[in-house]
Structure formats: C-alpha cells, structure tokens
C-alpha cells in the first residue's frame, strides 16, 4: 500500500464517519429541536390562545349576560316594587291624611266661623245702647226684632 492509498483510505474513513455519524446526528438533532420548538410553541400558543379566548368569551358573556340580567331583573323588580309601593302608599296615605285634616280643619273652622258670624249678624242683632259713662261701661240690649210676639210702639 502506498502513501496515497493510505491517505485516501484515512480521508475516506474520516469523512465517511464524519458525514455518516456527525452530520446526520447534528441535522437530526437540529431538525428535531426546530420542529419540536416550532410545533410546541405554535400548538401551545395557538391552542392556549384559542382555549383562553373561548373560555373567557364564553364565561364572560355567559356570566355577564346571565347574572347581570338576573340581578338587574331581580333588583329592578325589587326596587320598583318596594319603593314604588312604599312611596305610593306612604305618600298617598300621608298626603290624604294631611289634606283631609287640612281641609277639614280649615273649611270646618271657616264655615263654622262664617255661619256663626252670619247667625250673629242676621238672627241675633245686638245694638249698643248710648248711655253716660259710668263704672259699668256701655250696656247691650237686644232690639227685640227677632221676637215675633212683640209689636213696637
């Protein structure tokens, strides 16, 4: 064997082992790492983003729509029923009692005073008798006009 044959055999052995052992292992590891990283990040990110968006949208929409509708319906009905009925009943009863008492007191007193003055002015005429000043003061006497049995003169 010559030197050139030995050199060619060594180079062939080196490069064959390099090409068959190192490069395929390197490229296989590189491809596996790249593909694994790509697909894991893509799938995990995509699936997680999809699931997160789905569940957030679903539960937020469901919880907001359902519970807000129920709570608003309940509290709106409750507040309307309680406060409207309370204020209507309270203020209607209060205002009715107030105005009834006011009207009764004002008009009853007014009518009583008016008719009492009317009775005193027209049915019980009283005139002041002119007299000298004395310790007794002026005297009142009835005109007697209300008495049908007395004829003046």
One-character DSSP codes across the chain:
--HHHHHHHHHHHHHHHIIIIIHHHHHHHHHHHHHHHHHHHHHHHHHHHHHHHHHHHHHHHHHHHHHHHHHHHHHHHHHIIIIIHHHHHHHHHHHHHHHHHHHHHHHHHHHHHHHHHHHHHHTS-EEEEP----TT--EEEE--TT-TT----
pLDDT of 150 > 80? The answer is: no
* pTM passes above 0.75: no
Average pLDDT on 46-67 reads 84
Higher pLDDT, 77 or 15: 77
For residue 106, is it within any domain?
yes
For residue 136, is it within any domain?
no
Least confident of 19-33, 113-127, 139-153: 139-153
pLDDT of residue 59: 85
For residue 133, is it within any domain?
no
Number of domains in the chain: 1
């Amino acid at each position: 064997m010559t030197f050139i044959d030995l050199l060619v055999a060594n180079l062939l052995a080196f490069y064959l082992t390099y090409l068959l052992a190192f490069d395929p292992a390197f490229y296989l590891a590189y491809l596996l790492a790249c593909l694994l990283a790509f697909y894991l990040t893509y799938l995990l990110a995509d699936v997680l983003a999809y699931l997160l968006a789905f569940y957030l949208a679903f539960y937020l929409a469901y919880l907001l729509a359902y519970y807000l509708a129920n709570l608003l319906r309940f509290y709106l009905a409750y507040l309307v029923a309680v406060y409207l009925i309370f204020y209507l009943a309270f203020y209607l009863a209060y205002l009715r009692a107030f105005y009834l008492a006011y009207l009764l007191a004002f008009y009853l007193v007014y009518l009583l005073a008016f008719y009492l003055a009317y009775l005193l002015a027209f049915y019980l005429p009283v005139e002041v008798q002119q007299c000298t000043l004395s310790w007794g003061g002026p005297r009142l006497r009835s005109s007697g006009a209300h008495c049908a049995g007395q004829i003046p003169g």
